[in-house]
């Protein structure tokens, strides 16, 4: 059995928290794991947001038995979470599963460039709060017979598809980042974890946009660019 050794207990705890949040939105969630050297990338797709979430995890060493091959497999998020041992900073890789369609189409590995116009972190969090409040207000104004799934979805698309600031990033990507624990204030000085001062960055590569934060990334395809510029692996 392949065993992953994380750099420290904090990396294991952060991974477990990410997997737990994914499972909150989809109990049958699958994740794609890609590891090379001392880096592990965990890809997931929370269905409520229609985005791709990426959590990078630092490894102390890639594999337990000295294997020098890369790891690329899609597994059950629940089984992977169950195998995480935070105290030992390890996790066993579960048996592969038949991956959902999104797992075969990932953002490109390189070619990313910075985009301008992304608001400050506090403004991003305020934007999400305002969007949530707007959704609640608009749905509460509906008559009982109008509160159909189709109408709620229509209101949601209207709100969450709005662009963030002067960018092409939809608000739903920022909402996903906050809901998955990627968009949060830096740890205060003197805390167990060192404070993270890096602000979120918006990157683009072909048809993809990527909101990168110190805790993880959200990738989404830009509207109207078709099905090109993807990486099928």
Q: Judge if 130 and 39 occupy the same domain.
A: no
Which residues lie below 8 Å from residue 109, measured CB to CB, with a gap of 6+? 231
Question: Do residues 18 and 71 share a domain?
Answer: yes
Span 208-233, average pLDDT: 72
Nearest to 87 by CA among 19, 194, 6, 20: 6
| Residue 19, domain extent | 3-106
Buried b (16+ CB within 10 A) or exposed e, 21-59: bbbebbeebbbbbbbeeeebbbbbbbeebbbbbbbbbeb
Note the pLDDT tens digit of each residue in 127-166. Answer: 999 999 999 999 999 998 998 999 998 998 999 999 998 8
**Which pLDDT score, from 0 to 100, does residue 187 have?**
58
pLDDT, tens digit (0-9, with 9 covering 90-100), for 56-114: 999 997 655 555 567 899 999 999 999 999 999 999 999 999 989 999 889 998 899 99
| Portion of the chain with pLDDT greater than 90, in percent | 70
| Domain match, 86 and 125 both | no
Q: What whole-number distance in Å separates Cα of residue 157 and Cα of residue 226?
A: 19
Which two tokens mark 162?
Answer: 């709005």
In terms of domains, do 89 and 131 share one?
no
Whole-model pTM: value is: 0.85
Q: Encode pLDDT of 197-217 as tens digits.
A: 468 999 999 999 999 999 999
172's tokens: 């739903």
User: For position 12, which CATH number holds?
Assistant: 3.10.150
Q: Where are the beta strands (DSSP E) in the chain?
A: 3-6, 30-36, 39-44, 52-61, 71-76, 90-92, 105-106, 113-114, 201-205, 208-213, 216-221, 231-232
Q: What is the pLDDT of residues 168-206, one digit of tens each?
A: 999 999 999 999 999 877 655 554 555 454 689 999 999
Contacts of 127 (CB under 8 A, 6+ apart): 119, 164, 171, 174
């Amino acid at each position: 059995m392949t065993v992953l050794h994380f750099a420290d207990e904090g990396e294991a705890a952060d991974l477990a928290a990410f997997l737990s949040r994914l499972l909150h939105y989809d109990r049958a969630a699958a994740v794609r794991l890609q590891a090379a050297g001392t880096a592990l990338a965990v890809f997931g797709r929370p269905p409520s947001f229609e985005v791709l979430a990426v959590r990078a995890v630092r490894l102390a060493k890639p594999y337990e038995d000295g294997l020098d091959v890369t790891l690329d497999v899609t597994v059950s998020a629940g089984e992977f979470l169950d195998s995480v041992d935070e105290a030992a900073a390890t996790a066993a890789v579960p048996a592969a599963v038949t991956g959902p369609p999104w797992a075969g189409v990932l953002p490109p590995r390189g070619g990313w460039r910075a985009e301008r116009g992304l608001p400050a972190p506090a403004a991003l969090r305020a934007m999400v709060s305002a969007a949530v409040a707007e959704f609640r207000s608009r749905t509460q104004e509906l008559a009982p017979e109008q509160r159909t799934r189709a109408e709620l979805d229509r209101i949601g698309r209207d709100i969450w598809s709005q662009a963030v600031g002067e960018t092409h990033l939809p608000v739903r990507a920022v909402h996903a980042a906050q809901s998955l624990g990627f968009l949060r204030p830096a740890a205060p000085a003197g805390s167990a974890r060192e404070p993270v001062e890096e602000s979120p960055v918006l990157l683009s590569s072909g048809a993809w946009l990527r909101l990168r934060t110190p805790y993880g990334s959200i990738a989404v395809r830009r509207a109207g660019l078709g099905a090109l510029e993807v990486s099928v692996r």
